[in-house]
């Protein structure tokens, strides 16, 4: 199946808006997980929904076949979404660590990975924006 896009900039802006909402939501829920207002189990349920939304967005990117002038921007944004998906997966690891009573020292490495993936995703979004025609 091919996802037909006629206005590549508008489509990318729409995806970006959805991504921003998902990012903000995940950050809030991650904070809630860390401060105990959301249980690890509830958090894992939230990540399943968000992860599937991100995967759907990535699938649309793969099938949208942007014009050559838009391809760099699209590829970089798709890579940003993949990093965001990795970020979500790593937060699931943290939720499992919290549920299993891991020490804060053990969780620190995972928290660093989470932060790195978040920053890499943000960086790829900037590169995508800079490579727009």
Which class for 56: exposed (0-12), middle (13-18), buried (19 or more C-beta within 10 A)? exposed
Per-residue pLDDT of the chain (133 residues; tens, 9 = 90+): 556 667 889 989 999 999 999 999 999 999 999 999 999 999 999 999 999 999 998 888 888 888 889 999 999 999 999 999 999 999 999 999 999 999 989 899 999 999 999 999 999 999 999 999 9
Q: Which distant-in-sequence residues (6+ apart) come within 8 Å of 44 by Cβ? A: 92, 95, 96
Does residue 22 contact residue 50 with C-beta atoms inside 8 Å? yes
Tokens at 56, concatenated: 């759907």
Distances (CA, A) of 98 to 16, 20, 85, 95: 31, 26, 20, 5
Q: Give the pLDDT of residue 4.
A: 63
Is the pTM value of this prediction over 0.85? yes
Q: Give the pLDDT of residue 123.
A: 97
Tokens at 37, concatenated: 């207002």
């Amino acid at each position: 199946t091919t996802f037909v896009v006629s206005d590549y900039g508008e489509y990318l802006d729409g995806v970006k808006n959805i991504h921003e909402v998902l990012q903000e939501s995940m950050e809030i829920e991650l904070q809630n997980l860390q401060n105990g207002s959301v249980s690890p189990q509830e958090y894992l349920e939230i990540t399943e929904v968000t992860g599937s939304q991100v995967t759907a967005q990535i699938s649309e990117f793969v099938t949208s076949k942007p014009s050559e002038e838009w391809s760099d921007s699209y590829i970089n944004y798709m890579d940003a979404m993949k990093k965001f998906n990795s970020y979500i997966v790593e937060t699931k690891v943290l939720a499992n660590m919290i549920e299993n009573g891991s020490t804060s020292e053990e969780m620190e490495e995972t928290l660093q990975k989470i932060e790195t993936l978040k920053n890499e995703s943000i960086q790829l979004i900037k590169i995508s924006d800079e490579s727009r025609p």
